[in-house]
Amino acid sequence: MEDDGTVTVYNSSIVPTDSKKNPTTFSVKVGLAQMLRGGAIVEVANAQQAKVAESAGACCLSVSESASISRCGGGIGRMADPSLIKDIKRSVSIPIIAKARVGHFVEAQILEAIGVDYVDESEMLSISDEGNFINKHNFNIAFICGCRDLGEALRRIREGAAMVRTQGDMMRSGNIVETIGNVRRVMGETRVLNNMDDDEVFTFSKKIGAPYDLVAQTKQMGRLPVVHFAAGGIVTPADAALMMQLGCDGVFVGNEIFDCSDPFKRVKAIVEAVRNYNDPLVLAEVSCGLSKAAAALEICGTGMRDSRFEVLSD
């Protein structure tokens, strides 16, 4: 398909973009994100963890050195040290995601320059711009963005996100309750949209604050027009399979997965659960013997909700 103001998204549907500014079209970026579909993306903080995750079957690695800062505490989470990212890139052969602060387009420029495969404009880090997200169409690299509902997901796609992840627990506590609620919200709003009369879509798009053309495209496709992962609190095979059965395309596994006695076994179990999410017998088998390994994954607090998402004037 010619990139003359429109690009292919997911299958045969289209959304507009300006291809004159960027030699890498949005359709190519979306295609790169689709390569991760059906896999588990594991957050790592060093080359050793990266090798463990790769050998356990992770489809991609998300590099972050801010895990110790963010877990159950404060501090400023920033882009990882480029030397760390380069070291991890040299140690593995699977794709690499690196995080940039929301709105911090210079961090994204640096990450693109050092050759990461994807940039995650991540609310898990500190917010650098409370009013603006990065214009992701200005980059040659595919971006990943978080969301809590359908309107937020479609706004990020309009800005150029090639993948969205429904974000839940940001305290690295191993609590999946918020992730489930947000995934159900996205899926529920999508089902409501699918059952609407075409004349009602205009009002619905205004209600959720999303571009009408992307809302109409979502209705036509019956799903988000880009790859949709779940993130936050996913630490067991059952957690991962639940996200897949709810309709997600894959899962993000946080760095807290390494706070156990056998991270290789746990990552491998989650990878197998994502691949066999509809087979209870396989899920039961891969879940055996993991309870002791998860002893360190304690909940930091009851009902805690990170306020970093709410500071954005989206």
Q: Active-site residues: which are they?
A: 99
Query: How far apart are alpha carbons 210 and 66 in whole angstroms?
Result: 32
Residues 67, 71, 73, 77: is their CA dihedral positive or negative? positive
Provide the 8-state DSSP code for 80.
P
What is the Rg, in whole angstroms, of the alpha carbon atoms belonging to the chain? 19
Residue written as tokens 């949005």?
A: 26
Query: How far apart are alpha carbons 259 and 265 in whole angstroms?
Result: 12
Residue written as tokens 């917010």?
A: 127
Cβ atoms within 10 Å, residue 59: 19
Lookup: tokens for 199: 């004349």
Q: Are strands 250-253 and 40-44 parallel, antiparallel or unpaired?
A: parallel
Cα torsion at 159, 37, 274, 149 (round to 10°)? 20
Residue written as tokens 């050998």?
A: 55
Instruction: Count CA within 13 A, CB hemisphere, residue 265.
Output: 14
**Which residues on neighbouring strands pair with residue 122, listed in sequence order?**
101
User: Which amino acid makes up residue 81?
Assistant: D
